[in-house]
Chain A
Amino acid sequence: MKGTILIADDEPLARRTLREHLRDLGCGGEIHEAPDGKLPLRSQTRSGLN
């Protein structure tokens, strides 16, 4: 899958596992992580995600 991905989850293990799955499944774009619900709401985050 192409494009930018943001993983928002407060569990570091869940984020890391999901990131590994995404890489294994061929996601070649940028993968960012957010430990809370604030980052996805910031306007700067929209770049690449919409």
Chain B
Amino acid sequence: MPGATGLEVLEQLDYEPKVILTTAHDQYAVSAFELGALDYLLKPFGRDRLERVLQRAQAALEARSASLLSRAKEALQPTRALSRVFVRDGNRIVPIALASIERVQGADDYATIFTSPKQYLVGIRLSDLETSLAPANFLRIHRSHLINLEYVASIEPYDATRVEVVMKSGARIVASRTGSKLLRDLPL
């Protein structure tokens, strides 16, 4: 075939269709199967042979759909909620209950966890922590700030579009515009 032979196409595909090779040459069969072809039809072939191959292809497609469905269901299962995180404290590793975390401030690949009265620097991105902490009443109110809503003392206007959160510890954090909207939309 101009452009690429059937085997070259198989070699270069970056997606996974079910491929049935039809050819007048039988010497490429092994290579075709090695490259993932579902079947190999030697020309000339009859309609019966084609029908059997199509049945195999249909079965393979259905098996893949079932597998995808099963994987999707697994991915959508609720993950077990975290109740604590483990952090390094000097030369020890200690558990911190999520309920004791007032807020987390991120900076690149690190985050500082604020509890009362200590702070812990951990080597994890804020976005990764956000996924784990969201079910525990934490809210991302800024690119660099994740807060525990249980520790909010008040939410005050900052400017026309943003609000400032005052934590019970006295810390004040200006929320981003998106974060401000999330805070304004919190159920009363």
A25 CB → nearest B CB, Å: 5
Q: Given A1-B57, A25-B50, does the pair A37, B17 have CB atoms closer than 8 Å? A: no
Nearest neighbor of B54 in chain A, beta-carbon distance = A1
The interface bits of chain B over 31-55 (1 if a CB of A lies within 8 angstroms of the residue's CB, else 0) are 0000000000001000100110011
Number of interface residues of A (CB under 8 A): 25
Q: Could you count the A-B residue pairs with CB atoms below 8 Å apart for me: how many are there? A: 64
B50 CB → nearest A CB, Å: 5
Q: Which of B53-110 contact A (CB under 8 A)?
A: 54-55, 57-58, 61
Q: Given A18-B22, A24-B47, does the pair A2, B58 have CB atoms closer than 8 Å? A: yes
- Asked whether B47 lies within 8 Å of A25 as measured between CB atoms, the reply is yes
- Asked whether A35 lies within 8 Å of B2 as measured between CB atoms, the reply is yes
Q: Which of chain A's residues have a CB closer than 8 A to the CB of B54?
A: 1, 22, 25, 27
- Asked whether B16 lies within 8 Å of A50 as measured between CB atoms, the reply is yes
Q: How far is the CA of A26 from the CA of B15 in the complex (A)?
A: 25
Residues of B within 8 A of A (CB): 1-6, 8-9, 12-17, 22, 43, 47, 50-51, 54-55, 57-58, 61
